[in-house]
Structure 1
Amino acid sequence: MQTTGHHTEAASEAAAVDPPHQRHSRRSWMWAMGLGVGVSAAAVLIGTYELTIGLAAIVLFPLLWAVLIGAVVGLQPWRPVTGPTRAVSELLIRVGIVVFLALLGTGIGPSLPDLVDIGPAIALQELGNAFGTVIIGIPVAVAMGMGRVAIGATWSANRESYLAYAIDKWGVRAPEYQGVFGVWLLGTVFGAAFISLIAGITGGLEIFDPRALALACGLGSASMMLGGAGSLTVLYPEMAGEIMALAAISNLVTNIVGFYMGVYVVLPFARWFYRVWVKILRKEETDARSIAADPVPVAEEGSARTKKPQDPPPPKTIAAWVAAFIFTGVAGLLINWQGTGELSLTGIIGITMVTGLSVLAFLLARVVRAVPASIWVLAMATLASAPFFPGSEFLVGMTENLDVLLVGLPQIALLGLSLGRDIDGLKRMSWKVVLIGFLTLASAYLAAAVVAQLVLPGV
């Protein structure tokens, strides 16, 4: 696409007449990559701060700064981020999160023997994660007169698999779906920052075992897990490796069994629990349209609903995927160098190895579509770095100087760019859905932490 400036690209996007092969221009790629690295570098320069408020602590560290700066960039009107740039960012985020999980897995493998005794706590905390949102959230949502929106909004932390299920089961007009969408949107935009704050505050209170708080970070979202675990590693630097390992394994368990538990166990319970509280509080059904966003334009309702151009889909060519993997590795090395002061051949080999595992994970996900790349890569990296696996010492040695929080920072920074795309949905969202959404995320974390605390050995 021929452009004479950023506004020319924005104007072309607004006209929605670009041919498909011009949708993702070189300029879009340069903006997405530059923003990812630039925002991450600024976040590392700002550094880490710990604010003590009473007994609690609020941890402000690079991940949180990256989300906030990215959000400002994504919303500023003077040089707006265009749809093609956000589309490229989406691919970079998808690839980068999987590479981040591969690197995280190399830190879990060596700790597997030490995690055997904690096994029951890893599994049982999922009960708190699953049921805590319903038990805490539904009475509040019903009291606020949210109607059946309450079921979807408090069903779970509502990540992508839940959103897809809700669309298929209820359709986009149903109040249950409105609730699911509200929590999904809030979690996508603010989840990493919100969970990092909750984890920092609860960790600063020193009521919970740090291991219980680490297990609670497994909410089914890589970015939320990274945010929560990142805060805890600042508060407990001597346990940083164990905290990251526990959070990652917990997240893996949530992704594997959490969805099925949510669909076949928690959802029926939520619907029954909702009816109980409707009777107790004598609340009538509420029209969902009065309290929830209208998130998905429906084509058949006329052109008035579809005039605003949508972001183009992420690039899908082999060249685009190769570029995304190269960017992820190079950007991760640069930010790791800035944060640790170390750039070596060992680190280059290490990032190449975890990138190779990520490529393999995406290929396996195409063959076995029921298992996403994030699950494949974390399992493979954990196994490949376990003490019993041949050659694991080499993999661990090549990656031990790569800081997982720094390597994954560019992708977290790019998440803020989505605000420009999602701001209309956020504006239409009722304050009731926003309040219950944050209550749901907090409930999932805190309930899981309580259950883990009760069953952890040695507590």
Structure 2
Amino acid sequence: MRNEATTAQGSQPPVSAATRPAPFRAGTRLWIGVIAVSTAVSAAAILIGTHKFQMGPAAIVLLPILWAVLIGSAIGIQKWKPVGGRARAVSAHLMDVSIVFFLAGLGTGIGPSLTKFADIGPAILLQEVGHVVGTVILALPVAVALGMGRAAVGATWSIDRESYLAFAIQRFGVRSPEYRGVFSVWVLGSVFGAVFISILAGLLGGLDFFDPRALAMGLGLGSASMMLGGVGALSILYPEAAGEIMALAALSNLVTNIVGFYAGVFIALPLCQRLYRMWSRLFGRDDLGRRVGKVRAEGGDGAGVQSVDIHGIETDPAVVRTPTTWIIAFAAAGGGGLLLNALGTGSFRALDVVGVLVLLALAAVSLVLAKLVPAVPSSIWVLALATIASASFMPTGAFVASAAQNINVLYAGLPMIALIGMSLGRDIKALRSLSWKVVVVGLMTLTASFVAAAAIAEAALHL
């Protein structure tokens, strides 16, 4: 439930009472239209499917999640029948449920593997420090120097995969510079991440400086496609160790999926925000990325910069949220999830209905907890609850894991991605303003995360 506290209103542009659109009650036709279009976009993305293009040792992998955001974005920015502010307001309400539903599915996939921590060595655990520190220490100053403004925080506090994108929507709001930084790097990573990491892994592997096991552990970036791209390159260089490379990379990716999100939220993000203020003063940049000379420290915090760059972003009205609208949003997430999961996996079990109901229940509890404890957003609550509920050592573990086993969240959660794309019309000017800077910073973020993690794993292997 994205309330005032969890959307970080301070990071959004102030809107006067005279210009703020009045809240409205969305009609049935508008709800049906938004739900139908997002579901259709998701179904089209699944039908287009996954396509892999080999480029020597590297490979470009195009997944349904990419098609969903591209098709959704095309709808969001087209001028023939524009997606208006009211439709985007309905989309925002639907996303509140779709996001936590998606994260609940991720959590139930992590919980059954928690016991594997008993067999994880210090090298795999310590490499996570590289993912947390590498991006913030190495990429952030470059982003600030290039003039990305507060979008630099979103672009460099992590490698910005799906769970971070979901968190950014709730923590900062979709009108914030931080969110646009996250979204831009997410798109960049989705399109070019796998091929870039595979090329980088091949280059580093060919130098014979790193132990291939350290490089394999560095591939635990939280992205399956990037991990597989890197594994493919390393397996060609070290065919005799291909099995071990795959196992270590997968285990490292598991650690990142379990630990990395929390480390990113509670360690990397606060660190990034603090360092951003320091680098902004040193480089003489304001929150818009403009050169202003030395920023005058007002109030002892360098708060001389008060303005927020919204680059012509429209201010959408707020839809009036009632018990009925929440029921519609939950029904859309659950029904759409079942339909798309069946379409994507090619199978449907009666138990899948139970699985979706379990995920929706976890989502509902998390939204309530976020309302009661505003300091902790629902994205944190749901991932924690779903992971614990599906853990093998919990009484509920076997039931929850079995019920959700056939639910592929990358299919069931596609409407969230489609809705994000459909709302792009509001942000297109801001994204254009980042231009080539995002490419430079995004690739540096991926590089810093991989190399720093591999370096720490290398040191831990030789302790």
**Normalization by structure 2: what TM-score?**
0.73
Counterpart-to-counterpart distance in 2, 1:250 and 1:17: 38
Residue 247, structure 1, aligned to residue 257, structure 2: yes
Counterpart-to-counterpart distance in 2, 1:235 and 1:422: 33
Change (3 A) 1:103 1:211: farther
Counterpart-to-counterpart distance in 2, 1:332 and 1:97: 12
Is the CA contact 2:114–2:391 (under 8 Å) kept in the aligned structure 1?
Answer: yes
Match of 2:194 among 168, 190, 200: 200
Partner of 2:357: 352
Change (3 A) 1:333 1:317: same
Match of 1:419 among 421, 424, 433: 424
Alignment map for 1:403-442 (pairs within 5 Å): 403-426=408-431, 429=433, 433-442=434-443
Is the CA contact 2:31–2:90 (under 8 Å) kept in the aligned structure 1?
Answer: yes
Partner of 1:392: 397
Partner of 1:31: 33
What letter corresponds to residue 179 of structure 2 in structure 1? W
Task: Report which of the two has the higher share of helix.
Answer: 1
Question: Where does the alignment leave 5 or more consecutive residues of structure 2 unmatched?
Answer: 1-18, 158-164, 205-214, 233-245, 286-290, 296-306
Q: CA deviation at 1:79?
A: 2.1
Identity %, equivalent residues: 31
Q: CA deviation at 1:64?
A: 0.4
What letter corresponds to residue 90 of structure 1 in structure 2? A
What letter corresponds to residue 116 of structure 2 in structure 1? D
Residue 122, structure 1, aligned to residue 153, structure 2: no
What letter corresponds to residue 383 of structure 1 in structure 2? I
Change (3 A) 1:18 1:376: closer
Residue 53, structure 1, aligned to residue 31, structure 2: no
Q: Secondary structure at the match of 1:311?
A: coil
Residue 337, structure 1, aligned to residue 342, structure 2: yes
Alignment map for 1:52-71 (pairs within 5 Å): 52-71=54-73
Change (3 A) 1:78 1:371: same
What letter corresponds to residue 259 of structure 2 in structure 1? I
Alignment map for 1:210-359 (pairs within 5 Å): 211-215=217-221, 217=222, 228-230=223-225, 232=227, 243=253, 246-247=256-257, 249-264=259-274, 266-267=275-276, 269-271=278-280, 274=283, 285=293, 294-295=309-310, 310-359=315-364
Alignment map for 1:366-377 (pairs within 5 Å): 366-377=371-382
Q: Secondary structure at the match of 1:157?
A: helix
What letter corresponds to residue 346 of structure 1 in structure 2? L
Question: How well do the aligned residues superpose, as a CA RMSD in angstroms?
Answer: 3.7
Q: Secondary structure at the match of 2:81?
A: coil
Q: CA deviation at 1:270?
A: 2.1
Deviations 1:57-76 (A, max 9, x none): 22111000111111111122
Change (3 A) 1:114 1:440: same
Is the CA contact 1:57–1:203 (under 8 Å) kept in the aligned structure 2?
Answer: no
Q: CA deviation at 1:393?
A: 0.9
Count residues in correspondence.
386
**Normalization by structure 1: what TM-score?**
0.73
Q: Secondary structure at the match of 1:342?
A: coil
Is the CA contact 2:139–2:156 (under 8 Å) kept in the aligned structure 1?
Answer: no
Residue 131, structure 1, aligned to residue 137, structure 2: yes
